[in-house]
Structure formats: structure tokens, C-alpha cells
A and B are shown apart, each in its own frame.
Chain A
Amino acid sequence: MSATTVRGAASVEVPMVLAEQVTKSFGSNEVLKGITLEVKRGEVMCLVGPSGSGKSTFLRCINHLEVLSAGRLSVDGELIGYREANGKLYEMAPKEASKQRRDIGMVFQRFNLFPHMTALQNVMEAPLRVKGLPKAKVESSARELLARVGLADRADYYPAHLSGGQQQRVAIARALAMEPKLMLFDEPTSALDPELVGEVLDVMKGLAKEGMTMIVVTHEMGFAREVADSLVFMDAGVVVESGLPSEVLANPRHARTQAFLSKVL
């Protein structure tokens, strides 16, 4: 499993994601209390922990859907949401922020497909409107992406006519259409019926094998053990424990990790 660290050896110095003391409060409620972690190029990191531990919030900070209260967060060496000049931070204009988001794909728990567009149109929307690529080219690569997630024959279906697992696979294809360098998965299988979880995890495994850098918030410990290069256990806004999934899952060192794992495993 640790073979993935060799990937992208050319630019090994700059981590894909670097979080330093990331803090986030909603009013007086401090959800993240200083998260420091690093995700290497090509690494698959699973974030696990009880609900309310701040996993999703941290993930949303990475593409600036949430604004940090304190700390620094950079993706591929680029500070997220701010420009730094002369030792001062300048808030980014929405245009610059959305430029950063193009390179970061995100998959949501509730899919969030555009219901008024077919699967194909969902996948084509961002490359067409955001990148302004020619339609014929976008369509052929969108069909290719749908085939890649096993849905070539569902291209003209509206989301309402697809199962949850199919919808989530379309959502993955939609995120991939922007050719991101980082993929964020926010509990991608939590809203699915148990028998549909496998098809989504399989697509994600495929992505991991191709060397995509991924951060996955999940409760699927089997997936974490099999696919992840690192596992981070979060609780109450702090990283309690991290390491190789096999080690953390087999021999958790902290009492909180032990308590959590005893409930989910």
C-alpha cells in the first residue's frame, strides 16, 4: 500500500495539501482546533471520526467552501483563499477563489447533481462554462468519463431516474471532468443503500490506483484499510491519531480511537 508514496517523485518537495494549525469557529463554537496535516501527491488519506468531530468542515475548508478562522492551508503550494504579499494576507476576489476550486474536485454526501440536467449535461457543464472548451470535445470526454464510472448507457438520464449509487458515480465523473489534481470526498457513501455502496467504492478504488490524490471522509473502514495510504482519526476538532491504516485500525494507541473503532468495526 505504501508504494503510492513513490508516485510523483518529480515534485516530491511540495505536498498536495498542507494544513498548519487550521482553526474554524462558527460563532463561539470552535469546530476545528488547530489541524496540522500533510497530504502527499498521489496519497489517499481517509479521515475518520465520530460525527461532529470536524472532518467535513476541514474538508470544506480545503476548497474554501468554509473560510478559516486561523491557521494556513495550501494546496499544491498555493495558499487557499488568500494572497500573500509583503508579509500580509489579502482576501481573494471570488474570481480568484473559483479559479483555485477548478483544480479541486469535490463529491458530496448527498450527490448534489443538477436535477434539471441529464447525467451527460451534468458532467459537461463545468468544462463548457468554466473552462470554455469546445462542445464536441467536452461531450466526447464526458461520455468517456461516464463509461469510466460504468454509466455509458445512462448518459441521457436525469438524476431522478438514477439510483443513489449511479447518481454518486455521475457526481464523481462530474468532478473528474475538470481534471482536478485533488479529489475531496465528503462521506460519499453515507446516503446510499447498503447494496449500492460497493459500486461507488469501486470507482474510488480505481481512481486511487490511477494515482489521484484523494482525501476521503468516510465510515467505511474496509475501504480505508484496503485503499488508503494514511488514516487520520479526528475527534472534537483535533487530530487524535494518524498513521498507516493497518496500524491505526489494528492497534489504536489512544483511548478515544479505541472507543470509536470498537463501535464501528
Chain B
Amino acid sequence: MNGESAATSEPIKAIRLRHPWRVVFAVLLVAIFALFVIDAAFRPAYDWPAVGKYLFDRRISMAAVVTIQLTVFSMVIAIILGVILAVMRLSPNPVVKSVAWFYLWIFRGTPVYVQLTIWGLISLIYTSIDIGIPFMDPWVSFQTNAALNTFTLAIIGLALNEAAYMAEIVRAGLLSVDKGQEEASIALGMSWSQTMTRVILPQSMRVIIPPTGNEVISMLKTTSLVTAVPFSLELFTRSRDISAETFNPIPLLIVASIWYLFFTSILMVGQYFLEKRFSRGVGDRQPTKSDPAAPTTGAITGVVPVVGSGQPTVVVPPTTDAPGTTGHEGTR
């Protein structure tokens, strides 16, 4: 507050306020937790030896890979589709806008479990996939249940549902970028697609990534529902199938949970680094390390305007000789 005078005053010496209840609660919580862990370690129903045995069981680790595949494929499709839907919702064309809105209404308004079940029955609704001109003989025709296996249907079901949520996330991100950014790039002669990809999207990433990270984690867990298709080779359904044979469900549920936790932990770390990358120039208030002469204000370049003629064409501010100075100053 009072700059210089504070420097001379002595640091405060006072007896610290004690918080006895904090200590009580902390000890209590630790005690309860320890009790639970010790109890769990010796409780036979958990069957820890079985957990150890199945954790790296080949069937389980294969199922873990399938879960990752489901997550990655459906998330990639969902993000691409979500960006398209978000741009459609911001389109000046009212028909395009309405189509996107209708999509969102359907896919956000019905449970994903129901959607997955319907995808599983798609071959009953559409027995063949025909490509060609409507009302004419098709050029190519597939039997639906031959062309689309349950794995593909699971990905389609998850991706189309997720796209509706991604569209809203992307739209919020696009709207968060200042209108002046678009104007500046248009004024420079940049095209709409250049404006989007170079200026608007990179800035909206800062807003888009945190909720998208949540969606990826959520998707990883939602893959456990594809049994509705029915697709049975992912982590949860696989461990259920194994326990149906061994009559020992609890250790396998723990095994599946450990794998899910392992993957979500990795995703959280990845999200941290992505967020850091896209907050360039915004998140960090510290000047770049390569330039130690960074000022916190621009005071050193302030030049008082002199009224009258005889002004130099270029006013070179009195630069401190910062490393990295290119020596171009005053060349014009």
C-alpha cells in the first residue's frame, strides 16, 4: 500500500491463532481412512489375490485396449462432428441452423443407452445400405448387418451422442473470442477459413479444452454401456463375463475400476499440458524467459510528443540493451 514507508517498518510478531478443531478433524479422518484400508486388506470378499491374478490377465488387458479404441475413435469423430455442428449453429443460413438444432435436440434429449440399443437394432430398421440416386436402382448395396459389426455400431452410437455435447462446447468456445479478432483478420484480407483456423479456433481452444477433457473422461466410462448394442469386448462387460464363469464378481469389478482409474489419471495429466499449451500469451503473465529485460509496463518506450515540425520519422525509444535486440533500430 504505502510503498517506501513499508520498507522501514518491522515485520509483525504475533502469537499465531491456534485451530484445535482442524487438528481433531484431520486426525479423525486419517483414523477412519486407515481403519477402512486395514479392514479392506483383510476382508476375504475383496479377494485381493484374485485381483492380482486378473489385473494383467490377457483377456482383461485386451479389453482395456478395446475400451481405449472405443474412446479414441468415438471422441475423434465426435469432436469433428461437434465442430461442424457448432459452425452450423452459428451459420447465417436459417435452414442449416435449424438442422443443427434438431440434431442436438434428438441426441441430447434421449439417453445414450437407448440410442446404443437402437443402433444395435439398426439392421432391423434398414436392412440394406444403398448408395445411388433416390428412387432408382442403387449403384452399390450392402446388407446392413454385414457392413456394420457391433464394434462399428458402438462407435457410431457413442460418437453421434457425444457430438451433440461437443457442439455446445465448441460453440461456447467460438463465441468466447472477441469479435474484434475476426474483424482484424478480415481486415488483413484473410479468408473465412483462415480466420477460423488461424485466429478464432486457436483462441477458443482455451475455453474448449477443459470441458472436452471432462468429456473424454466421461466417454471412457460411457464405453461400459456398449453392452446395449450388444458389444461385449470392452473392459466392463469382459470382466462381468469372466466373473460369470468364476462366480467371483467383486475382484473383477476392482480390476476394471483400477484400469479405468489408470486411464483417467493419464488423461488428466494430458489435459494439464494441453491447457498450458493453448493458454500461450494469456494464461501466463510472466514475460518469456529468453528475454530478461522484459518490462512490466511500457514506460521505457514512452515518448513525449513534441508539437511542431522537425520530428524524426521514426522515434526510436531509448532501448536498454536487451539481449536479443536485433540491431534493426533506426535503419529507416
B-chain residues with CB within 8 Å of residue A226 when the two chains form the complex: 307-308
Other-chain residue from A99, A118, A149, A161 in contact with B189 (beta carbon distance below 8 A): A99
Decide yes or no: A152 and B288 within 8 Å by CB, A101-B188, A116-B282, A163-B298 being known contacts: no
CB distance B187 to A65 under 8 Å? yes
Which of A21-29, A40-48, A195-203, A235-243 touches B?
A: A195-203
CB distance B280 to A147 under 8 Å? no
Q: Is B315 an interface residue (CB 8 A)?
A: yes
Q: In the complex, what distance in Å separates the CA atom of A206 from the CA atom of B316? A: 12
Q: Interface readout for A157-177 with B: 1 if CB under 8 Å, 0 if not?
A: 111111111100001001100
Q: Beyond the given A98-B191, A116-B203, A197-B305, could you list 8 further A-B residue pairs with CB under 8 A, ordered by the A residue number?
A: A65-B186, A102-B189, A106-B184, A130-B190, A160-B285, A163-B299, A198-B304, A206-B311
B residues sitting closer than 8 Å to A (CB atoms) are 178, 180-181, 183-192, 194, 198-199, 202-203, 278, 280-282, 285, 287-288, 290-291, 293-295, 297-299, 301-305, 307-308, 311-317, 319, 322, 324-332
CB distance A153 to B188 under 8 Å? no
Decide yes or no: A206 and B188 within 8 Å by CB, A115-B281, A157-B294, A201-B305 being known contacts: no
Other-chain residue from B194, B319, B329 in contact with A130 (beta carbon distance below 8 A): B194
Q: Is A83 an interface residue (CB 8 A)?
A: no
> Interface on chain A toward B: helix, strand, loop, or mixed SS?
helix
Other-chain residue from B186, B312, B324, B331 in contact with A98 (beta carbon distance below 8 A): B186
B198 to chain A, nearest CB (A): 6
A-chain residues with CB within 8 Å of residue B180 when the two chains form the complex: 108, 110, 112
Q: In the complex, what distance in Å separates the CA atom of A155 from the CA atom of B322? A: 12
Q: Is A82 an interface residue (CB 8 A)?
A: no
CB distance B304 to A147 under 8 Å? no
B297 to chain A, nearest CB (A): 6
Other-chain residue from B194, B291, B301, B319 in contact with A199 (beta carbon distance below 8 A): B301
For B298, B317, B328, which residue has the most chain A Cβ atoms within 10 angstroms?
Answer: B298
CB distance B280 to A143 under 8 Å? no
26 contacts between A and B (CB under 8 A): A101-B186, A106-B187, A108-B183, A108-B184, A112-B181, A125-B185, A125-B198, A129-B190, A130-B194, A147-B330, A148-B314, A150-B315, A150-B329, A152-B328, A153-B322, A161-B287, A163-B295, A163-B299, A171-B184, A178-B189, A196-B298, A199-B302, A199-B315, A202-B305, A203-B315, A222-B305
